[in-house]
A = this chain, B = another copy of it.
């Protein structure tokens, strides 16, 4: 790729290092890359620029990551952890088995997408050399697990019940689709006619209170 990747080649939110040994480079690189992905799209980042932002030479990142793809994977892993935590928190904020708990999980998902559309798309668009990174797959399953558990609680069934899996999948498609559409079409917002919470409650009700 040619041309400078960013507008102000310096200046960043990640505070640079202190001495020769950085002490926290790996995390700072991930933060810097997340920022870049957010502002310039998934292929609008460069290892070099991330290094610059962290205040290290352009070769330093390769002590922590095999190649640029591995950095992306790092960003995704971190993001999925955050997503998982947010979903758990959403569920925990309401009585177990309530529809509210389910809607809250969905809302956490949508909020996650809206506050970091670039990273969100990265998370679900990663298909380079890591189609089946076991670590990422595990984290993905962990997230789905939250939905599954909430649905199981609501239906008073085991999480492994096929009926639970079916409805959890339905719910997730819905939330996932809404998240994507909502960040793709920032124009014509409020296509739902209502706010997210009401919308998600309606969906949860429709999917869970049926034969």
Where the two chains meet, the residues of A that have a C-beta atom closer than 8 Å to any C-beta of B are: 1, 40-44, 117-118, 121, 124-125, 127-128, 132, 137, 140, 162, 165-166, 169-170, 172-178, 180-181, 184-185, 187, 191-193, 203, 206-207, 210
Closest Cβ–Cβ distance, residue A65 to chain B (whole Å): 15
Contact partner, A192, options B169, B180, B192, Cβ 8 Å: B169
Cβ contact within 8 Å between A44 and B128 = yes
CA distance A125 to B174 in the complex (A): 18
What 6 pairs between A and B have smallest CB-CB spacing? A177-B177, A43-B43, A173-B177, A176-B177, A173-B178, A41-B128
Cβ contact within 8 Å between B125 and A42 = yes
Cβ contact within 8 Å between A121 and B127 = yes
- Chain B neighbourhood of A121, CB < 8 A: 125, 127
- Chain B neighbourhood of A137, CB < 8 A: 187
